[in-house]
Structure 1
Amino acid sequence: MTEKRASLIRSSAVPALCLAAAIALPFVVPQYYVQFASKVLILGVLAMALNLVVGQGGLVSLCHAAFFGLAGYVLALMSPKYDPASLLLTLPAAVIAAGVVALIIGALALRTRGVYFIMVTLAFGEMLFYLFHDADFAGGSDGAFINAKPELVVAGVRLLDLDKPLVFYFVVLAVTVGAIALLTMLVRSPFGHALAAARDNERRARALGFPIFRIRLIAFTLSGALAGLAGYFAAIQFGFVAPQMLGWHQSAVALVMVLIGGLSTVSGPLIGALVLLGLEEVLKATFEQWKLIEGVIVIAIVLLLPNGVRQLWPMLAGERAPMRANKPASPAAAAPETGHA
């Protein structure tokens, strides 16, 4: 009992310390690092959204950048030319648009399996990329600028001004904490157990009555909406959107973050985003051929730490075994639903 209590204290202390450090960060570092931390949090949310499909659902998607960039374009198209847009109007619109597109793509792509699912999601992502690349209303290949960042104004009182880096950072931090809480709740719920059961043994889960298609479609849609949430704040930070935000390369970067951080935990991809972006910052300032060195380091991490960099903590803490991937979820852990996909 004492060992179990000590383990619970350790597992609660680390997130609390990380949150405290994140809150204190803007007051002890220059503004550049505050903006860098905001970028890490935004891309961390994108990676965590992707991990809901990849890690929990066992489905490798290469179109999540499409939802990420689409939300940014929604903000750009809804923003007045010179005045700030309303946060209360543009944020829900961007997230809903990303979720609806994810629902449509998922309804078609989830009828395939394995490499075919990967290729179908890649194809849909590229379709959206070229749609905005060739569309004059969205600025074409040059993209579109967001001249004034959204504001939260209630009864004529400005409550949030995202043009201020400190305010923007704390809003993004709150969004990240909310995303972690939501994903943790989903993963630990009967829905999350059913999703993992379908990942581990689809035939058995289907035989027990789980509506596999519906479960995966809900997960894919929620994942796309969260990716859109990240894309909305990325557009605010960068001040513009471009077709490259929707390209498969951005999806691949998010997938690398997931693999570096680890598939076994909700917040692992956030750590993966920190490691990858931090590595890029250090290598850019040190080496001319930094991309080559980054690739070698990423390959080494994936080979030596198959469960992600988070498994270093139990190893350094002297625990008996390194962190392992999620155990196969028992389909009986979630209440079976009647009906089939």
Structure 2
Amino acid sequence: MRPWLLPTVALLVLAALPAVLSPYTQDLVLKIAIYAIFALSLELLVGTTGLVSLGHAAFLGIGAYVTVLASGDGGGSLALLLPLAVGAAAAYALFVGALSLRTKGVYFIMVTLAFAQMAYFVFHDTKVGGGSDGIFLYVKPVLAVGGTTLLDLDVKAHLYYTVLAALAFTYTLLAVVNRSRFGHALAGIRANEQRMRAAGFATTGYKLAAFVLAGALAGLAGFLLAAKDGAVNPELLSWHESGAVLLMIILGGLGSLRGAVLGAVAFTLLKEFYQSALLGPLAERWQLTLGLTIIAFVAFLPSGLIGLFGRGGLIGLRKRLAGARS
């Protein structure tokens, strides 16, 4: 039970937070939790399977856009919109994965980026997605049974606990996947795909399944992001967003689910801090300060933030800092 102790405690703390949080802080926690789901979805590809994608934001954006488009002006049922958003993202992931997995290495990175940019320009340059201004979600999803409303995502408490439940579901699902035969096969593919193929594993099928699952979970994050913000725009599908989520899992530590969550927390809080008025004129150049901070983290914490909690983590950091001073 020890591996589940810290995530369970963290979940209980998060569940109790709305009682003491201001509206702004609660919104920030929601944003972090949604991006943690997004980071966990990419962790399945990069950390578990060894597939570095620069187009993962396409699935986030598709999930968000499908949520808004399917809602229309009168809103829609959560029971319908959520499967539609996740299913659309998974379908596009199946299409992209079936073609891009024919390549490897840097070619795979560039092909996933190209498919993401294609999706970006579909929403950016056509009326279907409202162009560069995006579109608004006028009525947020509702779950009702027999005339009784069980969940209304326009209510902050309902949205908060729905996002929290989605984060717990995503983390648990990926933890189970990593411990399954499927997860061990993915880890083997990351270590040595040629040897796995020689052992009789259909590696392409395993990678495609991981790609589709990762896309579906990114679509879940997109659905929640649309419900939270009440609006979507093409920037959700941009390569900047794909780069940001890749930085999250690198910052937290590749190969660790807790690292992906920790990276999402650290990246979002750092970005929020560097954009705040506390830094005065530097707030306008937050990309520079954030970039320098991430470079420092990568230089002194090669295993990511999660490495601080392992054996010798803090000792190793002290040694690297002492070496830098000398």
Q: Same fold (TM over 0.5)?
A: yes
Q: Gapped runs of 5+ residues in structure 2?
A: 318-326
Which amino acid letter does the alignment assign opposite residue 202 of structure 1?
E
Partner residue of 2:47?
55
Counterpart residue identity of residue 177, structure 1: A
How far residue 316 of structure 1 moved from its aligned partner, in angstroms, is 7.9
Q: Name the counterpart of 2:72.
A: 80
Is 1:144 the counterpart of 2:135? The answer is yes
* Structure-2 separation of matches of 1:128 and 1:268: 29
Alignment of 1:155-304 (within 5 A): 155-285=146-276, 286-287=278-279, 288=282, 289-304=285-300
Residues 31, 200 of structure 1: alpha-carbon distance in 2 compared, 3 angstrom cutoff: same
Identity, in percent, stands at 44
1:99 maps to which residue?
Answer: 90
The letter for the 1-side match of 2:132 is S
Asked if the contact 2:43/2:255 (under 8 Å) is kept, the reply is no
Aligned equivalents of 1:152, 1:106: Cα separation in 2:
32
Per the alignment, residue 313 of structure 1 pairs with 309
Distance (Å, rounded) in 1 between the aligned partners of 2:4 and 2:123: 44
Runs of 4+ in 1 over 3 A off after TM superposition: 315-318
Deviations 1:179-236, CA, capped at 9 Å, x for gaps? 0000001111010111110111111111000100000000000000000000011011
SS in 1 for 2:149: strand
Give the secondary-structure state (helix, strand or coil) at the position aligned to 1:158. Answer: strand
| 1:108-145 C-alpha deviation (Å, 9 max, x unpaired) | 00000000000000000000000111111221111111
Is 1:70 the counterpart of 2:70? The answer is no
Q: Secondary structure at the match of 1:160?
A: strand
SS at match of 1:183: helix
Shift of 1:80: 2.6
SS of the equivalent of 1:55 reads helix
Choose from 93, 117, 128 the match for 1:126. 117
Matched residue type, 2:198? A
Aligned match of 2:24: 32
**Aligned AA for 1:134?**
D
Q: Residue type matched to 2:89 in 1?
A: A
State the AA in 2 paired with 1:203.
Answer: Q
Alignment-derived partner of residue 145 in structure 2: 154
Uncovered stretches (5+) of structure 1, i.e. residues with no partner: 1-7, 323-341
Distance 1:156 1:58 in 2: 47
- Paired letter, 2:300: L
**Counterpart AA for 2:108:** F
With 11-20 and 262-271 compared, the bigger mean Cα shift is at: 11-20
What is residue 11 of structure 2 aligned with on the other side? 19
- 1:260-308, CA deviations, whole angstroms, 9 ceiling, x for partnerless residues? 1111212311111110111122222222233211111111111211221
Question: 13-22 or 122-131: which moved more?
Answer: 13-22
- How many equivalent residue pairs? 312
Mapped contact 2:258–2:306 kept (Cα < 8 A): no
Distance 1:222 1:12, change over 3 A: closer
Q: Residue 69 of structure 1: CA displacement? A: 0.3
Q: Please give the TM-score of this superposition, normalised by the length of structure 2.
A: 0.92
- Determine if contact 2:252/2:260 at 8 Å carries over to the other structure: yes
User: Deviations along 1:29-69, whole A, 9 cap, x unmatched?
Assistant: 21211111010010111111011000111111111110100
Give the conservation status (yes or no) of the 8 Å contact 1:206–1:212. yes
RMSD of equivalent CA atoms: 1.6
CA deviations on 1:74-124 (whole Å, 9 max, x unpaired) are 11111131x331101111011001001100100000000000000000000
- Residue identity in the other structure for 1:283: Y
Aligned pair in 2 of structure 1 residues 139, 17: CA closer, same or farther (>3 Å)? same
Q: Is the 8 A contact 2:59 2:92 kept in 1?
A: yes
Conserved 8 A contact 1:315-1:321:
no
**Alignment TM-score, normalising by the size of structure 1:** 0.88
Instruction: Tell me, in whole angstroms, the C-alpha distance in 2 between the residues paired with 1:66 and 1:164.
Output: 28
